[in-house]
A and B are shown apart, each in its own frame.
Chain A
């Protein structure tokens, strides 16, 4: 595939999972020249070594400011231009910032070739964020379950209840106080520790 068909893309991302998701998407879409940079030390030197046409960086990465310096370095061979340089396309700017991805495009790359890449990044970033949220939810559910088990144990011991009775008491209290069962369980644990 000639360089004209496949621009060189650098992904600057400290999250290996997200970078992999993005890289896979780009390759599936036919962008074969993709390099992932994880190491933030000497970032500019690493980028210059690859000499990319497009640099993608997640907005949670403080090294975005390092990239901004590239606009000012006159000795650089190629000067990237800001992604948001085209003020007319505010919808895609907004979408990309909200998804948490920023792109820097080296001057000369045609706009119609950038658009599909950016759209793909936005959708992959959003997919990753969803995945992350699900993971968090599962984690907190697991955490809740542990807390509930512990609170049940305390109730069984202190009040002489069976396991089922302890659970029913927790659940009905949570409903009455309009709280999550995990929160009620946590306050039982806290209270019992204070009374020790």
Chain B
């Protein structure tokens, strides 16, 4: 028994060597994996930076018509976010079509009505179909609100009333979020994308090693070797998973490397991913990489052709992302320990926590990973049985 075991281990090593060589020799597949892995971290970092920069530089342009009737209004509205241009003449619609976000018109009798407590009107022209309309109106309301408060406060004081009488209470807000937790919103899509990377990076390899080998007729030769079927599937799984895992590791590294360049602090978000967290992220993805690889191989083996395999796997790669999104939106309590035993969901939850520097429970991670690994074993055994069917080779 010992001799046979040793013998088969050497055969296995040779097989694994062959599979790895085939996987890593395929430069096109490798480049695909690398490119996709780097693509999304760069996109997330880029869009965040762009968003923050745009948000910070955003100023509203306001055309003030009739400013000569209320010069103080012009002065008090002007701010970093609100640029006020006093115009002598102008047609609101034309101004809004031009450079201006808002047009504020001071009525003819504004000054005298104001002095006589007659509540003069201010006319605000907006184009509510413009994208910036809401923000522009908010900017104006902020400034106008503080001026209004100043006037109302002075009017009360003039009548001997403490202005605080208008504020019967003060609402104190207590925000229970943590600075790293605030990052969870921004980084929420990252775990899903990391998992997607696993699928995409190993796609070409898994099709090639199964349906591809069948079409090249080298699978038949392989099956003629005195090797148990599970070894064949396991070797293929390992080599495919190595590609997927590499892609995911690359993506994590790129993501974390780009984080310091992202303006997170401006958003009040703490960059909390630790080195230990990054290593853990890589490790929790390993069982998933194996599972993805074996499922892809099995699907590709039972497909009709190389093309059919590609189509099926392309559809498959959308499944996890869609599933995770659906679960997120259905507000299922995914943090529940039982959910963490489910492959995909468990990994997503751990990645989410690790990204924002939260701790994950070691027993749960081990149990969840064990669940994923046992699924891998089951799938390998299932694949081994399938290999014994002759129809598999004639699928052409």
A and B assemble together = no
